[in-house]
A and B are shown apart, each in its own frame.
Chain A
Amino acid sequence: GDSVTQMEGPVTLSEEAFLTINCTYTATGYPSLFWYVQYPGEGLQLLLKATKADDKGSNKGFEATYRKETTSFHLEKGSVQVSDSAVYFCALSKRDSNYQLIWGAGTKLIIKP
């Protein structure tokens, strides 16, 4: 079945470091791909999305490119801040289900000043 695999956390970085959080997926057809973020004590917020191969989603300095050949959607940011500390979730929407999101396990990011 469809699935999403994320790198395990926590990921601990210093401020201004480069961030990569890996995400790969298994899906039939052409799913849409998403990154959601959950800040401490808050709900899940959409960070960025890509709906077809080679699309690049970007928001708040974060980027991810939909790579069909490697079935990946890695999240990157050039210079992280303490305020980026959160849990990041990669997810896909199933094409044969019009409504459901399939989620990765989440990666906790800790940024130290």
Chain B
Amino acid sequence: EPEVTQTPSHQVTQMGQEVILRCVPISNHLYFYWYRQILGQKVEFLVSFYNNEISEKSEIFDDQFSVERPDGSNFTLKIRSTKLEDSAMYFCASSEANGGTGSPLHFGNGTRLTVT
């Protein structure tokens, strides 16, 4: 069964550094998402992406964050200058159709980001 893959599984970085989290969505999916889960807290929506542009973003997704689909297969999340509070598990997801219609999201295994 096709799956969403994320790399790396664990990333450690120093405060103020830039990080890029990588995802390969399922190939025939059109909608892409990033979510995060701070340890012990709820899963939170960051951003959705469709037709090569951001469809929606949350308050968390400020100017420090950006997303890109550079080559038609990868979907990346960049954090420009990491803060301690960015430490979390970051999940990439994709869906065939618009998630609001009930089309299920398929998630990757996540990247655990640790900012020191």
CA distance A99 to B99 in the complex (A): 5
Q: How far is the CB of B99 from chain A (nearest CB, A)?
A: 5
For B35, B98, B99, which residue has the most chain A Cβ atoms within 10 angstroms? B99
CA distance A105 to B102 in the complex (A): 20
Contact of A43 with B109 at beta-carbon distance under 8 Å, contacts A49-B104, A103-B43 already known: yes
- Whether B48 sits at the interface, judged by CB under 8 Å, is yes
Q: How far is the CB of A47 from chain B (nearest CB, A)?
A: 10
- Whether B108 sits at the interface, judged by CB under 8 Å, is yes
Number of interface residues of B (CB under 8 A): 29
Cβ 8 A contact of A43, one of B98, B99, B102, B108: B108
Cβ 8 A contact of A99, one of B43, B100, B109: B100
- Whether B33 sits at the interface, judged by CB under 8 Å, is yes
Contact of A105 with B42 at beta-carbon distance under 8 Å, contacts A49-B102, A93-B99, A99-B99 already known: yes
Interface mask (A42-53 → B, CB under 8 Å = 1, otherwise 0): 111110010100
CA distance A32 to B95 in the complex (A): 15
* A-B contacts, CB under 8 A, total: 71
Contact of A97 with B43 at beta-carbon distance under 8 Å, contacts A43-B107, A43-B110, A46-B106 already known: no
CA distance A51 to B48 in the complex (A): 20
- Whether A95 sits at the interface, judged by CB under 8 Å, is yes
Chain A residues in contact with chain B, CB under 8 A?
Answer: 32, 34, 36, 41-46, 49, 51, 89, 91, 93-95, 97-106
Known pairs A41-B109, A100-B56; list 19 more (Cβ under 8 Å): A34-B104, A36-B107, A43-B108, A43-B109, A44-B93, A89-B43, A97-B56, A98-B55, A98-B98, A98-B100, A98-B101, A99-B48, A99-B98, A99-B100, A100-B99, A100-B100, A101-B35, A103-B43, A104-B42
